[in-house]
Amino acid sequence: MPDRIHALTMPKWGLTMEEGTVAEWEVAEGDTIAEGDEVVLIETSKIAGSLESPFSGVLRKIVAQPGDVLPVGALLAVVTDAEVDPSVVDDFITEFQANFVPEEASEGEAAAVAQTVEVHGKRLSYVLTSPDDGNGATPVLLLHGFGGDANAWLFNAADLAKDRSVYALDLPGHGASSKDVGDGTLDAFTRAVVGFLDALHIAKAHFVAHSLGGAIALSVATTHPERVASLALLSTCGLGEGINREFIEGFIAAQRRKEIKPVLQQLFANPDLVTRDMIADVLKFKRLDGVPDALRKIADAFFPDGTQAVQFRDQLNGLDQPILVIWGAKDSIVDPAGTKGLPPSIEIHVLNDVGHMPQMEGAHDVNRLIHAHLDAADNR
């Protein structure tokens, strides 16, 4: 295909996505767009998210209309240089549609593979997303929060894997990993994460961690600093005492749709982002053998009496790694006040109209900030 004409296609967010629904175009035909601009809202079975343009140019033709349900890789629109003749655009669309075969991922997209590894006699599941060129840049390890799994990084893993390998780990007790969490303490999770790095022969990684995962990342950085290249902490635990106890207890106790839906809606500034399939996935997870006991052990160890038991504020000045902190201004789970009074060496960003899941609700800004953070850390 000519370099001056580009196909904007249905993305593949996560391993299980096969199709998406065009919800709303955020730009119009004829608009000039830049690489990274949010152009169209796509609804998936997991969550709705804005697709960022991988190209700069003019949005010459919108092919997919709101309400269209299309497979991964299907043509959404055409982006070109301004001087490209309209007939060339029409011919490009005709040829694309005639030759299109649904595929798992768009051409050039980083390949994501689900894998497992045994660590201390327990199975840990993870998704490895690797760049096409397989360069030797320091990899990224993604750590999700309480009750989550690797799907928490649907909008981030492939983007971060443009220039480095990205490992999205299911922590013990979560996702497809073993439900045995031992005593559920921070030490247990720290050992598991370091063991994961050892098992995959990862000498050092950039840690990108959310909520509970942030406290675990901070623990690894303080106890095994040689394994941590940098820290990017999203709405993290470990920097304050406040925690939404009703959310924690509600998540553990809920067994039916009407019970879990309002709990999950607390994660987002926009509660409409909680889909039926998201609810179904969480309920399916919670019904697995060992999950209720694992969640209770973790909650009792990390959040006794409705407060955060694990604190790292006093240790931050002793950390040599670059640290980025990102928080949603409308976070109702972990108070954004955790950003206050941090050492001046820490880069802090609070995102407006974003709740406890900034990597989902504010994916564009989060990915941009993390990319800059990783580049700066690599170039120290």
What pLDDT is attached to residue 184?
96
State whether 94 and 130 are in the same domain.
Answer: no
State whether 27 and 171 are in the same domain.
Answer: no
In the numeric block, which tokens belong to residue 157? 């893993």
CB atoms within 10 A of CB 55: 19
Query: Going by DSSP bridges, is the β-strand pair 32-33/57-62 parallel, antiparallel, or unpaired?
Result: antiparallel
What pLDDT is attached to residue 135?
64
Terminal CA-CA length for the chain: 39
Q: Last residue of a domain, which of 65, 99, 133?
A: 99
State whether 312 and 370 are in the same domain.
Answer: yes
Total number of domains in the chain: 2
Q: Last residue of a domain, which of 75, 99, 123?
A: 99
State whether 125 and 10 are in the same domain.
Answer: no
State whether 252 and 341 are in the same domain.
Answer: yes
This model's pTM is above 0.75: yes
State whether 95 and 116 are in the same domain.
Answer: no
- Its domain, for residue 44, covers 5-99
What pLDDT is attached to residue 51?
86
Low-confidence ranges of the chain (pLDDT < 50): 1, 104-108
Q: In what order do the strands lie in the sheet with 69-71?
A: 48-52, 38-43, 19-25, 69-71
Q: Last residue of a domain, which of 76, 99, 122?
A: 99
State whether 74 and 139 are in the same domain.
Answer: no
Give the C-alpha separation, 173 to 160, whole Å.
26
Give the C-alpha separation, 127 to 114, whole Å.
4
DSSP 8-state symbol, 117: E
State whether 159 and 230 are in the same domain.
Answer: yes
- Residues contacting 185, CB < 8 A, separation 6+: 301
